[in-house]
A and B are shown apart, each in its own frame.
Chain A
Amino acid sequence: MDFPQNMSMEEAFALAEAEAKLKQALTESKARFANAVVPNRLNEDWRFGRPHKNAVALAELLQSGTPSQGEAEVSNAGEAAVIITADDDDLRQTEMLMPTIGSDALLGMHLERFGDGYALYIEEDTKEPITISYKTDSLYTPSTFIMVAPGVKAHVIEQYYGCEQGTIFATRNIQVAEGAELKVEMQPYGCARCMVITNIQNMGGKVAHYSHFFACDWAREETVAEIYTPGADVQLFSANNLQLHQVLDQHTRQIHHAGGATSNLLYKNVVDDDATAIFAGNIYVAPGAHQTDAYQTNRNMLLSEKATVHSLPGLEILADKVRCSHGSASAPMDEEQLFYLLSRGIPHDEALALVSHGFLQDVVDKFERS
């Protein structure tokens, strides 16, 4: 190993130790992918998600030899954005160490196609939001890395366009340093299939994350937010309007490795026609992570007789002096709100749209205020 010059013995040891740890983690991670199987009915993290249909279809496409093809664009990034290439080993290793929620096998297939997407090294406050857009009409597997330096305030918008026929399978690694503030929006549009695996690592900053799936036939979100430092804060938001036969399968983890931090989640869905919404979230408070505040709320509005909602909020608390709660509610539209609008002469369809819009707008407002 080459040590930089002018390095003290302690620093050299610490560096060597870190390298050894990384090496071991990578070895373990290789075993993880070698042993992983494509999600099936026995995979608890795919409960209600029809893995025998959806996961298998995605896996088949990834293994079919169809090349990853798409356009990637970035704006307002200045010098922060770097295009990822296949031989970028550091970033590849970061992706190898990403946690998934029951989809290790699929992440393994994504790694085989590694080499598309952008890495953002944000070292100055952003004036305008940095916008990354990915676009495809076949299969696209971009990776995105967002690293925010200490004390920096940043706003990033990621857009994924599937052009109706396209399949997008994306991974996202977000690292926020101490005192940094990041607002990040993830917005897939019109994909036949869309799967996004996200890992947020918070080292003492503030992260507000908003996901909005629009007109995707099948979409799965796996978001793991990890908190390593006291004082850190993670806010997860999502608002979606599902119609036709759309299926949205959202899985989240709020993992508190360290105490004295906060996390909050608010996911809202309006479910119409034959659509299905699945939400499975979990708050994990590690042993010793005392003084944790973590909350989780899932609200669903059902608009049709054939709409289906599965909600699986979860708590795993191994520490003391914590304040944690979760809530889940699924109900039809409030008749009184509808009646109020109808009695003022607003046509039924418009009134319906207004009430459901208002239901979701609440999430957007909270994200913007955060």
Chain B
Amino acid sequence: MDETPFQIDTRGEFSFPENHKFDAGFGLTEATIDYICDAKGEPDWVRQFRKDALKKFNEMPMPTHWAPEGIKDLDFDKIRYYLSHGTMPYKDWDEVPDDVKRTFERLGVPEQERAFLAGVDAQYDSETAYNNMREELSKQGVIFVNSTEGLRDYEHIFRPWFGKVIPVSDNKFSALNHAAFSGGSFIYVPKGVKVAQPLQAYFRINSESMGQFERTLIIADEGAELMYMEGCTAPKYDSATLHSGVVELVALKGAKIQYVTVQNWATNVYNLVIQRGLAMEDAEIRWIDCNIGSGLTMKYPAVVLQGRRARGEVVSISLAHSGQLQDTGARMIHAAPETTSNIVAKSISIGEGRASYRGEVNVLKGMKGCKNNTECDALLINPASRTDTYPAVTVNGNASAVQHEASVSQVDEEMLFYMQQRGLTRAQAMSLAVNGFINDLVKEFPMEYSVELRRLIDLEMEDSIG
């Protein structure tokens, strides 16, 4: 309890005795990197790349301007940088705690996936359930592999874009990820291919699971379209306390990428993720982001609008409980004329939770006809809840229009009274009101996610309001 700055919320937390085949030990040194490279069988250029990144990581200072207080307690020497289960120890479903089972039950997680999420299976049997989908994908020429395979087997495709959208020296955590990355997905969609079903990280065979330093690179070639989903609404326990991912998206001319994240880590986790997309001419990138878990989240999905008429969008929901700080937001860099972007962020603070929106919209010099619209709404549930909004908007020149609106409110007492009068309990009324607040955003999520999200909010409300 004393080791983390956060108040530990035990709902949905559970762990098993660990038995890892590969364990690089505590701290990050050149030896750790050699260990990781040997374990994964990586080519020499990747080894060198990681070591260069490690040097940068050691040189760079911690973020100062945007970092909340909690980040100071992060001790890089107390973190294990590489764990891999050769074969996951088999655990019986009966050993999973009752309250976790209850959560799964309430969320309506399918039986197969439950076992995976609870750590009972190393990965659930995707062979049978998703075999057809995989065949379909490979017929279309879609490459969907993990980061190790991507750099080893498809170097000519992934290497040119690897670390280009988010360079090593972008910030300290980017350097950290470049040095220690494992897990994540590398996806290439060929020209003109429109992937019909959403791709999901935990559907992939032989996945390394969602690693703590996951690395994702998605390239959509000209005119291609895809939707990618990661994470899940069910609580996910991880023994790793630092989760620092890097997600790079490249949408070439006319391509469309939608990236959906739902994050519900346990509250002992620092969730520091860098997500950035590069949108070329006529391309579109949408980040759909939902943060429910972790003690401290710092995540600002970004789109660099690099080609004419490119479009970027961020849709973000965050829910902050007591002991949680959700520091989320969005960045839009208008680096080409006639580019448009839209940001819609909604946050809910419960108990002593704190939700912050931080954003940057920048229309660079000489860019004409750029448009941005930003809306941030915050809902406060209890008297001790906290919310902040810190946008930064920069406009150069007289040919672009940018607008930002933010509001803070709480659930109307009259509304609650009305619903209670008609026989709802206070918790039910509250949950209906909160669901109403985020209703238009929840619609943006794929069907199964939005159903789960709604149920999750019901659950959270029941626990927070007696």
Contacts and interface: CB of A to CB of B under 8 A. Distances in A.
Contact of A315 (B64, B393, B394, B408): B408
A310 B391 CA distance: 10
B383 A320 contact: yes
B404 A314 contact: no
Interface string A269-307: 000000000000000000110100000000010111111
Nearest to B406: A326
Residue of A321, A326, A333 with highest tally of chain B CB at under 10 A: A326
Contacts of A305: 366, 397-399
Contacts of B456: none
B275 to A, nearest CB: 22
B319 to A, nearest CB: 16
Contact of A329 (B365, B366, B403): B403
B410 interface: yes
B46 interface: no
A325 B403 contact: no
A131 interface: no
Given A309-B394, A310-B392, A321-B410, A329 B402 contact: yes
Q: Which of B366, B386, B388, B406 has the most CB of A within 10 A?
A: B406
B343 interface: no
Interface stretch (A16-24, A41-49, A197-205): A41-49
Given A305-B399, A320-B382, A311 B388 contact: no
Interface string B352-392: 00000000000001100000000000101011111111111
Contact of A290 (B383, B390, B396): B383
Contact of A312 (B366, B382, B391, B399): B391
Contacts of A312: 390-393
B87 interface: no
B407 interface: yes
Contacts of A321: 383, 410
Nearest to A284: B388
Contacts of A306: 365, 396-397
Interface residues of B, number: 35
A366 B405 CA distance: 21
Nearest to A280: B392
B394 A308 contact: yes
A303 B396 CA distance: 10
B342 to A, nearest CB: 15
Contact of A42 (B64, B366, B402): B64
B387 A330 contact: no
B386 A318 contact: yes
Given A47-B392, A315-B389, A326-B389, A332 B405 contact: no
B380 A317 contact: yes
A306 B399 CA distance: 10
B395 A308 contact: yes
A311 B390 CA distance: 10
A331 B408 contact: no
Interface size class of A (residues with CB under 8 A): 35 or more
A80 interface: no
B421 interface: no
Given A312-B391, A317-B378, A318-B386, A325 B396 contact: no
A81 interface: no
A324 interface: yes
A333 B396 CA distance: 14
A118 to B, nearest CB: 37
Contacts of A327: 403-406
A328 interface: yes
Contacts of A331: 400-403
Contacts of A111: none
Nearest to A331: B401
A315 B404 contact: no
A324 B407 contact: yes
A317 B377 CA distance: 12
A109 to B, nearest CB: 25
Contacts, number: 123
A288 B390 CA distance: 22
A313 to B, nearest CB: 6
Nearest to B368: A305
A287 B385 CA distance: 9
Contacts of A44: 65
B65 A315 contact: no
Given A303-B398, A304-B397, A313 B408 contact: no
A72 to B, nearest CB: 38
Contacts of B405: 325-327
B10 interface: no
Nearest to B408: A324
A2 to B, nearest CB: 44
B128 interface: no
A287 B380 CA distance: 13
A320 B398 contact: no
A53 to B, nearest CB: 18
Given A42-B64, A314-B388, A302 B398 contact: yes
B120 to A, nearest CB: 42
A304 B392 contact: no
Given A42-B64, A287-B384, A320-B380, A313 B406 contact: yes
A330 B362 CA distance: 12
A42 B66 CA distance: 11
A316 B388 contact: yes
A42 B65 CA distance: 7
Nearest to A321: B410
A305 B397 CA distance: 4
B16 to A, nearest CB: 40
Contacts of A310: 392-394
A302 B387 contact: no
Interface string A32-55: 000000000010100110000000
A113 B191 CA distance: 70
Contacts of B396: 306-308
Nearest to B349: A317
B197 interface: no
Contacts of B406: 313, 315, 325-327
A48 B403 CA distance: 19
Contacts of B388: 314-317
Contacts of A333: 398
Interface string B54-81: 0000000000110000000000000000
A322 interface: yes
Contacts of B385: 320
Nearest to A316: B388
A308 B398 CA distance: 9
A319 interface: yes
A306 B395 CA distance: 10
6 contacts: A48-B394, A305-B398, A307-B397, A313-B391, A323-B408, A330-B393
Given A317-B380, A320-B385, 15 more contacts: A288-B383, A306-B365, A306-B396, A307-B396, A308-B394, A309-B393, A313-B389, A313-B391, A315-B406, A315-B408, A326-B406, A329-B403, A330-B400, A330-B402, A332-B400
Interface of B: 64-65, 365-366, 378, 380, 382-410
Interface of A: 42, 44, 47-48, 287-288, 290, 300, 302-333
9 A-B pairs with least C-beta separation: A331-B401, A302-B398, A320-B383, A325-B407, A329-B403, A315-B389, A332-B398, A330-B395, A311-B393
